Each structure stands twice: as C-alpha cells, then as structure tokens.
Structure 1
Amino acid sequence: MTETEHGDPTLYRTPEDAIAAPPEKLAYIVGFDRTEQRPDALFTVDTDPESPSYGRVLSLVEVSGTGDELHHFGWNACSSALAHACHEHPERRYLLAPGLRSSRLHVFDTRPDPTRPTLLKTIEAKELADRAGYSRPHTLHCGPDGVFLSCLGGAGGADGPGGVALLDHDTFEVRRAWESDRGPQHLAYDVWWHLNHDVAVTSEWGTPSMIENGVDAELLLGRRYGHALHFWELHSGRHLQRLDLGDRHQMVLELRPAHDPRATWGFVGVVVDVTDLSASVWLWHRDGDEFAVRKVITIPAEAAEPDRLPPVIRPFGAVPPLITDINLSVDDRWLYISAWGTGELIQYDVADPFRPRRTASVRLGGIAGRVPHPRAPEVPLTGGPQMVEISRDGRRVYLTNSLYGSWDDQFYPDGVEPWLVKLDADTAHGGLSVDERFFPHGEEFRGRRVHQTRLQGGDASSDSYCHPSDPRP
C-alpha cells in the first residue's frame, strides 16, 4: 500500500519517511483532577514556533464523569496499518484515552478542527470486563489486528491476571482478550512488538491493589512487583518466553523496541533496585532462537539531607532516580531517560545499543532539587521529568511531570503543579537545551495534573514501521 493509496500522509512507510515529514504544530496532553471534583480533560497545545500562541493551551475537552485518571493514550491508527490490509481506509484521526482508575475508555475526534477535538464516545468498564475479562487499562498501541490495550487487572478490578485487550480499529468496540496461551505471565504493564518478526513483548508493574494507594513498602522490599519480560507470538497471542531480570530489579516498565523493522532489540526501564535504590535500563535482543536481556545503563541514587525528603524515602537519606519513562528516537540513535525522583532527563547515544554513551542531561524539579524552569527562575518546580515524548525528527523533546496520583502524593507530598516543557536536542552530536519560550504550566491546565503527550502526525512512541529506511539486508 503506497502513501497515495492510503490517503493519510501521517502514515509513514518507513522511519525515514516519518523523520522527513513536516514537524508537529500541535501537541495533545491528557490531564486528570486528583481531587476527582472535575472531569479529566484532553488539552491541545500550540507547538508551532511561528505562531503567536506558541506554547499556550488552545483548548480543552472534558470527559463525561469524574475519577478516571487519564494516563496513557494513543491513536486509533498509525504506520503499522501499512503492514496488512487491516484498515480499508486507515486514518490517524481518533485519540483513545483510557481511565486507569475508572476502566472507562474515551474516544476523541481530532477532526474537523485539530485545535479543538471533541469527545466522540465513552466505552464503559463493563464492556472491557465482559468481552475481554480485564480492567484498569493502561497503555494502548494501534497494531496490525486492532488496537492493543494493556490492562493491569482482571474483570471488575480483580487482582489479575492483567493482560491485553483487542479493540476494533474503526468502531473502538472491545473484541476480546489477545492472549491465547498466557503461560506464566500474571502481572502486566506495557505491550509492544517487532512487527515484521511476529514477536510481541510485555512488561510488568503490578495488580490494581499493588499500585492503588502508592508504593507498598512491604511489597517492594518483599520483591513482589514485576521483574520480568515476556515474549509472545504476535499474531496468535501465544506465550513464548519469560526473561527474569532478577527480583531485586522492581517494576519493569516502559518498552521501546527499535524502529528499524529488521531489528530484534529494544530497551526497557526498571524503576528501582531495592538493594541500593539505583535505577537501570536493559537491552533485550535476539540470541539464536530465543531472546536474551542485559543491563546496559545504571543510574545511582543521590545523597540528600533527610529534611529535604518525603517520609517514604527519608530513612534512606538518598533520592532514588526512579526511571519512570524512557523513549527512543525514530532513527534509533538517541535514548532519553526520565529520572522522576532526582529530576533529571538524560540523553544517551545508542548508535551501539549494547554500549550506550551518556551525552547530555537537563535538571527540572526533583524531590530534593526543585530546579526551576529558566523562564521562571524564582518558582521551584514540583514533580520531575516523567513522560517523555520525542518528535519524529528527534529535534524536540517534550516532558510532563505527573506519574500517578497516589504515587505523586508519596514522593511529592506538597503537591504536583502541572507543567509541560520542551527541550531542543542536538541530533548530530548530542546535547539538550530548554526552550524558554515554551512553558505551559499551573492554571493553564485548569487544576489538572498532566501525564502523557501525543504529537500531531505521530511521534517516536506512537508508530511501528513495516519497511526499512534503506535497502540493507
């Protein structure tokens, strides 16, 4: 299927096509009300530096009801639609936003006016439970056979097993559970794949009761949060392999496979090592007929005065980095790591994924540092770099600062005031700088904390590709 045939120029045949496409002029951000007094909302922000409203919130649209905690969200269609004839007329148009607490799924239409999306429909928790047997939807990706929606809990909020529900690309109805043979998998978090190799990967966080009220110290020190990767046959949902990272490495979260469709490697972030509070990034890769995994980056905890620490970590006298998100540029060259605890966004050169090389970092917020934005140096920032999104050309990096309401309250008990920050990246040699013109924050988000960002036309974590950028074998 060619670009002319599918009609939507934001569905890219190769990673190179995505990189060469026009830059985004809008960003979409979900925000939630921690008090549950107001509905959660989808915000639209101007990202066009030539616009008089650059860096400002242009609109918001509220969901119906309260208490959703909109978290991760994504498109109904992306470049994976070109792998199979799974859409008759694929179009990147609708944003699907699940509520992590409510188990509802909200569908926003970004047409006809992309600056003012509208709420199209809401899919209730009962449909997810009845048709797929799941609750607590977390992450979604548009895939070859439907929209893949990872879920932390079983039907009705039961404590697992978590897994993946399949949604219809066009009607958004819940079709079924994706797994046909679960094997040893019980905990869930993220789902991604190597599309051309018919391999899916899932990671582990915890069940609803394990995350609902914040980090459970007994579970953490008992090493009962997720610490493994699972590999699956993508087309059938059959479990193939479990890779245990070791139970000291707690909470194996964001999956970032290589964008090159020939590759069979990717990175995953681990929140904390319970023996020393460090955080880490691991590389999975094909090793013969199976997959192997190795630690390639370690970020140590940082010493801090106890009176600057919240009660949850005060006894340790140190701030854990808490890697809560990672992201990989579309050219597979640059890896970004969010250390939400220490307030650092770190850039690595991963041209050799087995030997990452640290090239730059920026400090914003942080538990002990509260580093301000250069546009408002007198205002200490709360929260820290959390969800990180990269433009398709790799030159712009967007950060939001909220993790999950109850976890925010533990690590930032004074509150998390929302902010969205843009960094400019040097894609030739490495380097980062804060864009001082771009800083929507505070009341611009109408009392909502902000979590994830999606960019108009796609971004580094929204699409998978079925054709390589060059003819190498």
Structure 2
Amino acid sequence: MHPKPFLRAIALAAVAAGASIVSAPVLADETCNSPYITNLIKGQEDFLYVWTLGVAGMGDGSDKLVTLDVNPASKKFSQVVAQLSVGTRGEAHHAGFTDDRRFLWAGGLDDSKIYVFDIHSDPGKPTLVKTIGDFAARSGLVGPHTFHALPGRMLIGALSNAKDKGGATGMALYNNKGEFISKVDMPTSKGGDGYGYDIAFNPARNVMLTSSFTGHKNYMMELGALMKDAGAMKQFGSTMVLWNLKSMQPEKVFSVPGAPLEIRWSLKEGDDWAITASALTSQLWLVKKDAAGEWQAKAVGAIGDPAKIPLPVDMSITADSRGLWVNTFMDGTTRYFDISNPEAPKQTYAKNTGAQVNMISQSWDGKRVYVSSSLLAKWDKKGVDDEQFVKLFAWNGKELTETFKVDFYKLKLGRAHHMKLGAKAQGGAIAAR
C-alpha cells in the first residue's frame, strides 16, 4: 500500500517541475543524472568525485569521498586534491546530486548510512554536512543504493529490507534537508518480485522505471561462495517495473531475467525508450512502446559471450543516444555499442581497460570516458587482479586512449567505486537551465 504522504509529495514535486524540465534544453554533464538536476556543467569538468570503499589496514580504513583534479589546464591535473573520510567502513557504493546540484548524497550498502556532502561551497574540497544514520529504522529498508533527484526531494532506491535482509525492498523519499518523508514498497503482485536496484525518470512520458538486483545476504557474501550456492543464486531479481511518475503507482511489471541493473533513457528529444543490461544473462534489454502503444520490454542483443558470464555492470549512454558504453567486470572489458537503431544494438569497439572494471562515466561531449574498478568489497577479484584505480580515457570515436591512471591502492585510498563530475563555480563553468 502506498502511503498518502509519499504520493502527495512526489506528485507535487513532479507537477511543479515537470513542464519546465520537459521543455528545457540539455546543456551538459553526465548522461545518467536525474533530468530534474539544474546547474549543469557546461564544457570541461574540473573535478571527479569518487565514492571509495575503505580497506582494513589501508590508510584510516574508512570509506571516503576522494576528489581528483581532471582539468588538463590545471597544474594539479590527475592528482588527488582532497579526501574526506567518513570515519567508518560501510560498503560505500552509489551517490547522486540534489536537484540544485549543490549537494552530493552517498550511501553505504552494509551499514545503511547516508552522507550528504556540500560540493558547491568549495567544489575542490567537499565537506560533510549531514550523516543520516536512521535510514533503516525510519524506512524499514537497508542498502541505500540509487539517489535520484526530484524537485526539492531525493528518491532513494534500496536493495534490501531490515526484516530478513532478502531481496524484497522499496524506495524512500527524503526532502533536501535530509528529513524522511515516507516510503513505497516494490510490487510483489501481478508478476512483481519485490526486488529493486536503479531508478530512472522520463518526465515527458510521466513514467519511471525501476530495475532489480539482490538482497543484503547475497551482496555481502564472497562472490565465489555465492556462485556455488544454488539457493542464493535463485535470489536475484528478474523484473523491471514501469511506474506512473506523478502518482508513484506501479503500472506494469516486465519479466527481465538475470538481474537488470542500470537504466538509461534515451536523451534524444522525442524518443520514448530506455535500455538496460541484465548482469547474469549478459543481455541488452529495450523498454519501448509497441505499435499498439503498450510499453514492452524485450531482449535486443548479447554483451560478449553470455555463456562465460562477463557480468555487465555499469553503462553510459551518449548524449545523442546513438552510442552506449558497457563495462563487463569479469573480463575487464569496456565495450561500445552503436544503438542508433535501439532494436538492434551492434558492438563496434572493445578494449580491456583493467583486470576488473565496474563504473563508467563520460563527459557530455563524449570525448572523455572515466572508468573505475571496484564492484563490491567481497566481489572484487583477489591477488594481482584486485586492481583499484580510476582511469581517464580520451575517445575520438574510434579508439580509447588512456590519459591517466590513479592507483587507489598505491595511494592507500581504498577501492574506487562511483564517480561524479564536478566543476568550479567561478568563470561560468556551471550553467543553469
């Protein structure tokens, strides 16, 4: 049942900003952010914020927000210019900007703490301004994963629940002050399995998509042991849900086997399709209306050799929605797909970018591609293959050329995970919609 406060807050936010966002021209910034975010980066980014997992015995052992200087014109280009420890280790994972892009929210999958960083007062040196320690107690959820901005609000998708730490989960709504409003459960009827992962809005169509992964018991298990546990391997999501964005009511459940993860809506004006990848079955899936005007989900292509379980993890769609980057963790490969026809994606490029690779972010102009290495603390590879880095590549449309590599283990920082672009407030680097 969907709490009335949640529905009222979400509906008011969507109605208040929906029309202006739909008609606003896209300016710059990463291609995976919420469409409700203003103050977008225009041109060259100055900083890269890296939400980093702490490692016992390495530095202070705590999770931290690491800031890299990524402007080639800077004397500190490719260097760490700030690191902000949160004083504990809780499986740092994903982060997301508030709608005004002044604050970055980041979460821990294990301890369910949420950290709010001020990244506008001094973009090169973020500060921690709030720690939310009662997420599980207030929402009944654990594993805050996706942080997707609404006007004045933050919608947080969780991976698990506080009761049995399985895959049944939901989403929690907070205001930008960090105050809990309410939560909504993932559907468990009409084909719903209750699992959650990513959140993606399409205000022009008044729809939201969510995907699915697994619960705390699985993602905190050693990967080798997990893959040998037949029972645990059955505890992965196999659905996506289409929601009415304004009412926050589920409208349709799609069968998408194999844990569909990141969701990317086409950014081309007039398009009404989204694409995702299933981690365990290594398939690209398209969500689009059929000839009768009904939303459908269908597999449209393989990523590598599915029999070898390359494990597609993160993906990044180009600003013109004609290309898609996909990272596969197990073989350390970054792939590029031509999706000018989203019904028939074609891999046109592949490069081994590390022994293990996870997250991928690109600049809006598509000329710069960032890759990080860590998936989950207990899923990362062992020994020499446990590389932990952030790499910047230049992309000329034909070849990725490494520009720099920052070795996070060598600098005793930990495991590099989620990346977000940042810019100085001076000199017009930030542009408002």
CA distance 1:113–1:200, change in 2 (3 Å): same
The structure 1 residue matched to 2:55, chosen from 34, 54, 57, is: 34
Residues 331 and 162 of structure 1, relative CA distance in 2, 3 Å threshold: same
Aligned: 1:354 with 2:349: no
Which residue of structure 2 aligns with residue 263 of structure 1? 271
Residue 71, structure 1, aligned to residue 93, structure 2: yes
Describe how 1:453-464 pairs up with structure 2 within 5 A: 453-456=419-422
**Residue of structure 2 aligned with 1:418, choices 388, 407, 412:** 388
Which residue of 366, 379, 385 maps to 1:394?
366
- State how far apart, in whole Å, the 2-side matches of 1:449 and 1:106 are: 18
Please state how far the C-alpha of 1:149 moved relative to its aligned partner: 0.7
1:267-312 Cα distance to aligned partner (Å, 9 max, x none): 1111123xxxxx221111112343212222213449xxxxxxxxxx
Matched, 1:60 2:78: no
The Cα offsets for residues 60-101 of structure 1, whole Å up to 9 and x where unpaired, read as 01113x221111101112xxxxxxxxxxxxx31111111111
Are 1:185 and 1:230, in contact at CA under 8 Å, matched by a contact in 2? no
1:99 maps to 2:127: no
Among candidates 230, 234, 237, match of residue 248 of structure 2: 237
Partner of 1:342: 331
Q: Are residues 1:176 and 2:185 paired?
A: no
| Structure 1, gaps ≥5 residues long | 1-5, 7-11, 78-90, 274-278, 303-317, 367-383, 459-466, 468-473
Contact 2:361 2:369 in 1 (8 A): yes
SS in 2 for 1:446: coil
| Contact in 2 for aligned 1:179/1:238 (Cα 8 Å) | no
Report deviation, 1:262. Answer: 3.4
- Work out which structure has the larger RCO, using CA pairs closer than 8 Å and 6 or more positions apart in sequence: 2
- Which of 396, 399, 405 in structure 2 is aligned with 1:432? 399
TM-score (norm 2): 0.82
Maintained 8 Å contact 1:136/1:151: yes
Give the whole-Å Cα distance in 2 for the aligned partners of 1:165 and 1:132: 6
| Aligned-pair CA distance for 1:227 | 1.6
Go from structure 1 to structure 2 and tell me whether the alpha carbon gap of 1:417 and 1:164 turns closer, same or farther (over 3 Å shift): same
Letter in 2 for 1:402: S
For the residue of structure 2 that corresponds to 1:129, the secondary structure is: helix
Alignment of 1:293 with 2:294, yes or no, is no
Q: Note if contact 2:267-2:321 (Cα within 8 Å) is conserved in structure 1.
A: yes
Distance in 2 separating the partners of 1:393 and 1:59: 26
Note if contact 2:113-2:131 (Cα within 8 Å) is conserved in structure 1: yes
Deviations 1:140-185 (A, max 9, x none): 11124621111012236632521111111x3022211145966434
Establish whether residue 115 from structure 1 lines up as the match of residue 124 from structure 2. yes
Indicate if the aligned counterparts of 1:389 and 1:398 stay in contact, CA closer than 8 A: yes
C-alpha contact (below 8 Å) 1:345/1:361 kept by paired residues: yes
- The equivalent of 1:282 in structure 2 is 285
Q: Percent of aligned pairs with the same residue? A: 25
Equivalence for 2:375: 403
How far apart are residue 398 of structure 1 and its match? 0.4
Alignment partner, residue 186 of structure 1: 194
Which residue of the partner structure matches residue 25 of structure 2? 14
Matches within 5 A, 1:146-185: 146-155=153-162, 158-168=165-175, 170-179=176-185, 183=189, 184-185=192-193
Alpha-carbon distance in structure 1 between the residues aligned to 2:208 and 2:118: 28
**Pick from 188, 204, 216: which aligns with 1:208?**
216
Change (3 A) 1:31 1:142: same
Tell me if the contact between 2:95 and 2:105 (Cα under 8 Å) persists in the aligned partners: yes
What amino acid is aligned across from residue 347 of structure 2 in structure 1?
A: R
Q: Could you tell me how far apart the structure 1 residues matched to 2:232 and 2:93 are? A: 26
Aligned to 2:317: 328
- CA deviation profile, 1:92-111 (whole Å, cap 9, x unmatched): 11111111111000011113
Computed over aligned residues only, the root mean square deviation of the Cα atoms, in angstroms, reads: 2.7
Distance in 2 separating the partners of 1:283 and 1:181: 21
| CA contact 1:319–1:341 (8 Å) conserved in 2 | no
Amino acid at match of 1:24: E
Deviations 1:214-250 (A, max 9, x none): 342334786441121111111222111111134xxx2
Cα deviation code 1:307-355 (max 9, x no counterpart): xxxxxxxxxxx85311011111122121001011111101112122112
Letter in 2 for 1:213: M
Displacement of 1:21 in angstroms is 2.1
Q: What is the rounded CA distance, in whole Å, between the counterparts of 1:254 and 1:214 in structure 2?
A: 22
In the aligned structure 2, how far is the partner of 1:255 from the partner of 1:67? 28
**Is the 8 Å Cα contact of residues 164 and 179 (structure 1) preserved in structure 2?**
yes
Distance 1:445 1:220, change over 3 A: farther
What's the TM-score, normalizing by structure 1? 0.76
